[in-house]
């Protein structure tokens, strides 16, 4: 039988459904800048960016970070966006990125799930 000895690293991931956003969810440049600002707020290094526009509307933006990723997928016709904030590293607080995103996207309401991921578990 395995016994848990020590969890080496715990990472909090935020999955957020945003409803009734005031921001333009079909503006790819705005969304890219918004995610860049969120990465900056948490002190993360962006290593790559992916932007995809859907037809007739909708945008996906993914920032690949040295410390995992931040992404947004939008359905402008419904005022809806799905956000994923997954950052790791000492002193990296995903809530700082979330505060930046929430301020820019201005949702009327939201649902948030917080996941705690554990990495590097030592077992006996």
Is the alpha carbon torsion for 44, 62, 120, 17 positive or negative?
A: positive
Give the number of other Cβ atoms within 10 Å of residue 89's Cβ. 16
pLDDT tens digits, 86-108 = 998 777 899 999 999 999 999 99
- Cβ atoms < 10 Å from Cβ of 119: 10
pLDDT tens sequence across 32-84: 999 999 999 999 999 999 999 999 999 999 999 998 999 999 999 999 999 99
**CB count in 10 Å sphere of residue 117:** 12
pLDDT greater than 70 at residue 16: yes
Sketch out the chain's domains with CATH numbers: 4-123 (3.60.90.10)
User: Which stretches of the chain are DSSP H helices?
Assistant: 28-42, 94-105
pTM: 0.88
Q: Is the pLDDT of residue 7 over 60?
A: no
121 has a pLDDT exceeding 70: no
């Amino acid at each position: 039988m395995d016994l848990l000895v020590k969890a080496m690293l715990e990472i909090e991931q935020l999955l957020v459904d945003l409803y009734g956003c005031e921001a333009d969810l079909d503006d790819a440049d705005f969304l890219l800048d918004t995610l860049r600002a969120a990465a900056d707020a948490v002190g993360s290094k962006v290593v790559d960016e992916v932007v995809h526009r859907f037809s007739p509307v909708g945008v996906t933006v993914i920032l690949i970070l040295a410390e995992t990723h931040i992404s947004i997928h939008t359905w402008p016709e419904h005022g809806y966006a799905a956000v994923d904030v997954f950052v790791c590293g000492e002193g990296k607080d995903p809530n700082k990125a979330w505060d930046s995103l929430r301020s820019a996207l201005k949702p009327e309401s939201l649902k948030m799930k917080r996941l705690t991921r554990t990495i590097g578990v030592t077992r006996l």
